[in-house]
Chain A
Amino acid sequence: MDLLEQFANINFYLLGPYPKGEIGGLCLNIILALLAIGSSFIFGALLGYSRLSCRLYIKYPCIAFIEIVRSTPLIMLIFWFYFFLPYFFGGSVTIFWSAVVSLSIYAAAYQAEIVRAGIMAVPRGQLEAALSTGMSRYKAMRFVVLPQGFKMMLPSFVSFFVSLFKDTSVTYIIGVIELTQTGIIISQRQPDKMYAAYFSMAIGFWLVCYSFSHLARKLEKRIGVFDLESYRPEACRDEFMLLPRRGKIGEEADQSARCIPAGPELKG
């Protein structure tokens, strides 16, 4: 019942104080995530590619950046950019943009590692074959290695995007009015129905994350990343557990079919 009553607040959950104030709620989560994904996609790909560079003055700064960001909690990055961006750019940086910047940098470091893993997962022979036909390293990457690596990166990208979307909720700590913050505001207005507010938040996150992974799975299927057929339960029963396809286990016909026919006896 309490949960149904929360429908009265649905506008606030979805849009925050939008008509009167800035846009917020679940919409803001999505906007934050999309901006972070978009910018980190480009930035992360560049970082990941440069990390594999032969030039040490490109390689080592990238490694340093990636490792520092990856070994720092997101919440610290958010605080860091919240307090330091105004310090460098004057007081004009809003909390929204400091949230976008910190999320993008966080995401870029992780994406760089996904890109690197994807490139390295392509067999070395592919690069060698491309190079031996006279392609430059850049062309070999662009036309041969990356198209194959991208297929392998796709599942990791999807799971990272989903977790990045959930991570946008951490930005409530610097006062971004996204879904978590709206939930907290509502729960404080009605302290006796706190659980309902938190439950609504969870539903909001779940809906977006689930539909995103569902879409992604469809995309994976279309691009043909993995042979999904061979992971069906029926396939497992037949090929992987080596049970007879027809008839009961232990039936004579099956048994004889499985036996290796006896060859002629060897004579000394």
Chain B
Amino acid sequence: MIKFITANKWFNNTHVLKNINLEISKGEVIVICGPSGAGKSTLLRTINKLELIDDGEIIVDGMYLSDPKTDLTALRAEIGMVFQHFNLYPHKTAIKNITLAPRKVRGLNRKKATERALKLLEKVGLVHKRDAFPVQLSGGEQQRVAIARSLAMEPKIMLFDEPTSALDPELINEVLDVMVSLAKEGMTMIVVTHEIGFAQKVADRVVFMDAGEILEVGTPPDIFVNPQHPRTKSFMSSVFHIPIFDEKQEEEQESSS
């Protein structure tokens, strides 16, 4: 469904994506993790061409992104995206946030669009907030409306760019629950997140990135429990707050005691 072929990207002189080769099939849930500045978000944003790649090729659902003839709006209509800071339209109510794109892009009439939006609001559990403005919603509610907004276009692929990292800890689960149910419905999802629990639960594969490179790809246990690459090992140990297992240190401790 999505295929990266030696994709490269530079920001001025910084090489932010280095020879990315990745193939994602339909219905797969991919979690991308790695330290900040590793290029995870950039990688995600190249898929719907919010960022351009300088070299290589990306094929999304049979469309070649480097081809100037590719219809960008048609491409983006098939790809939903959820942002770290929600980016809801502050001048519109929750329901209007959701109905705007279907009406203006797909040409649905108000009644049909509203029906579809209400179904989606029910799915994310926010029907009672249909007429609330984004400022009247909590962070978790805003993010759930944002997910409903992307789903309203009935996309084939969903991209999540750190959807929970701007939320209070107690609001994270309500968003993750929605994402889990979405994954179970067979949606193709690419998620940049630090929520290891979420990744272990639903991810088919985990991609570990650092400094613009994909260092390791594997199932969640492969990456989280038995990482092969030394950089992955040190990252995972710091994420799980477990000191790196060091035989010498242990011997010293034994001898001293």
Interface, chain A (partner B; CB < 8 A): 123, 125-126, 128-136, 139, 143-144, 147-148, 151
Contact = CB atoms under 8 A, between A and B. Distances in A.
Contact of A143 (B77, B100, B146, B152): B100
Contacts of A143: 100, 104
A136 B104 CA distance: 10
Residue of A134, A143, A148 with most chain B CB atoms under a 10 A cut-off: A134
11 contacts: A126-B87, A128-B87, A130-B89, A132-B50, A132-B79, A132-B150, A133-B77, A133-B80, A134-B73, A134-B153, A135-B73
Interface string B66-94: 00000001101111110101011111000
B149 A128 contact: no
B89 A144 contact: yes
B244 interface: no
B50 A134 contact: no
B101 interface: yes
A139 to B, nearest CB: 5
Contacts of A147: 91
B150 to A, nearest CB: 7
B48 interface: yes
Given A143-B100, A143-B104, A133 B87 contact: no
Which secondary structure dominates chain A's binding surface?
Answer: helix
B11 to A, nearest CB: 16
B50 A128 contact: yes
B105 A134 contact: yes
Contacts, number: 62
Interface string B44-75: 00001010000000000000000000000110
Interface in B149-208: 149-150, 152-153
Nearest to A136: B73
B76 A131 contact: yes
B150 A133 contact: yes
A33 B8 CA distance: 55
A143 B101 CA distance: 10
Contacts of B76: 131-134
B158 to A, nearest CB: 11
A144 B92 CA distance: 9
A132 to B, nearest CB: 4
A123 B50 CA distance: 15
Contacts of A148: 89-91
A133 B152 CA distance: 9
A131 B150 CA distance: 11
Nearest to A128: B50
Contact of A125 (B77, B78, B80, B85): B85
A151 B91 CA distance: 10
B83 A128 contact: yes
